Structure 1
Amino acid sequence: MIGRLRGTLAEKQPPHLILDVNGLGYELEVPMTTLYRLPSVGEPLTLHTHLVVREDAQLLYGFYSKRERDFFRELIRLNGVGPKLALALMSSLEVDELVRCVQSQDTSALTKVPGVGKKTAERLLVELKDRFKAWETVPAMFALVPNQPGGPEAPAPAVTAESDAISALVSLGYKPQEASKAITSIKEKGLSSEDLIRRALKGMI
């Protein structure tokens, strides 16, 4: 099992990235909440990881914090929740927001995540309630701090940023029409793909 990787962020293509570890490039898929916290390409980065081995593939998932990875592991233990749905849940809501939904048994936010209907949301909240009794919300731990070391990246060309953001939303399970509408409805110009994704997801939730 690969539990942690430390290297240089070589490539960022939401929701995927490549981490260069001593010349070996690891391709990882990350939730959007991790993507928002990534440094600039070329900067050092440490990610907590979870490896999924299937008959047809070996998939590596990366998380900015160990707590996020632990939450991901709790989600994929649930019946009917695979890595794709777990990432969609974690991309749409911060870990502390998800924990609060579990504590209050609030289905409203979960049902807006692709692939989660009311019955599925109710089942997930019931199954998670006992598991999360020991979890405490720590909002400060998850304050968004994008582009940490190395300063801000140069703004991406608008067309590229928008197409990357749409692709990322589609990968989370949103229909192409929904993703395109959510991105094009954002009127502010010059935003990075990460900012576009974050604003689109907040609008959808």
Structure 2
Amino acid sequence: MIASVRGQVRHVGLDNVVVEVGGVGLLVHTTPATAADCRTGTEVTLETSMVVREESLTLYGFPGQDAKALFEQVQTVSGVGPRLALAMLSVHAPDAVRRAIAQGDLVALTKVPGIGRKSAERLVLELKDRILALGVDSADLATRPTPEAAGEADAAQVRAALEGLGWSVKQSTDAVSTVTSSPDAPRDVSGILRAALRELGR
């Protein structure tokens, strides 16, 4: 597995660079911003993630470990491949992606080409707890919703997810209301969703 590359830039494209390493030119796919920072004839170091397919080996490059880690993390979500993960980092900085997921900001996530509302909801549902567990930048804490607003945002995400799975608006609303009004109601999106599914299955 190629974890990083360092060498002379031989070619700069719109969203890729060719880096010569040991006499071999490696094509590395990047965001347009990363490619724009490279200059032909200069040396560059990129953190890389290799995606192995039956018919190809593809390198994706990043200026630092932070972007690389997020690139790999979002691909753990069903339906998110390397191209879509790279598109997310082309539109938003890593911290902005994490903040959008942590806060359930579907508007920010759907600004990425290829991500619709359902895909955005899936990203939030599957990654929010992990993003929050890792912590967010202190500057983001000031923009985090109040517990009340966050709770309603979580409930709204679960209602939308249930409707996407085929339940009616009323069924989804009733199930979420029953779950969230319980004294021992779960406090995270995945927990609310699991409890609502159990409620609907009765």
| Secondary structure at 1:17 match in 2 | strand
Q: Which runs of 4+ in 1 moved over 6 A?
A: none
The structure-2 alpha-carbon separation of the partners of 1:76 and 1:33, relative to structure 1 and needing over 3 Å to count, comes to farther
> Which residue number in structure 2 is paired with residue 192 of structure 1?
none
- 1:127 CA displacement: 1.1
Query: Which residue of structure 2 aligns with residue 84 of structure 1?
Result: 83
1:48 and 2:47 matched: yes
Aligned to 1:15: 15
Native 8 Å contact 2:99 2:136 kept in 1: no
- Cα deviation digits, residues 15-58 of structure 1 (max 9, x gap): 1110011221000101234234x232111100001111111111
Instruction: Report if the CA contact (8 A) 1:99-1:137 is conserved.
Output: no
1:70 aligns with 2:75: no
Question: Hey, what does 1:195 align to over in structure 2?
Answer: none
Q: Whole-Å Cα distance in 1 between the matches of residues 67 and 138 of structure 2?
A: 12
Change in 2 beyond 3 A, CA 1:64/1:138: farther
Please name the residue that 1:183 is paired with. Answer: none
CA contact (8 A) 1:33 1:90 kept: no
- Contact (CA 8 Å) 2:106, 2:117: kept in 1 or not? yes
Higher RCO (C-alpha under 8 Å, 6+ residues apart)? 1
Counting aligned pairs with the same residue, the percent is: 37
Q: CA RMSD in A?
A: 1.6
TM-score scaled by length of structure 2: 0.64
Structure 2: gaps spanning 5 or more residues: 140-202
Equivalent position of 2:107 in the other structure? 108
Structure whose alpha-carbon radius of gyration is higher:
2
Query: What SS does the aligned partner of 1:26 have?
Result: strand
Alignment gaps of 5+ in structure 1:
140-205
Q: Distance in 1 between matches of 2:135 and 2:4?
A: 22
Q: 2:156 — aligned with what? A: none
Instruction: Return the offset for 1:99.
Output: 1.2
Could you tell me how far apart the structure 1 residues matched to 2:69 and 2:32 are?
A: 16
| Counterpart Cα distance in 1 of 2:41 and 2:26 | 14
Q: What SS class does the counterpart of residue 112 from structure 1 fall into? A: coil
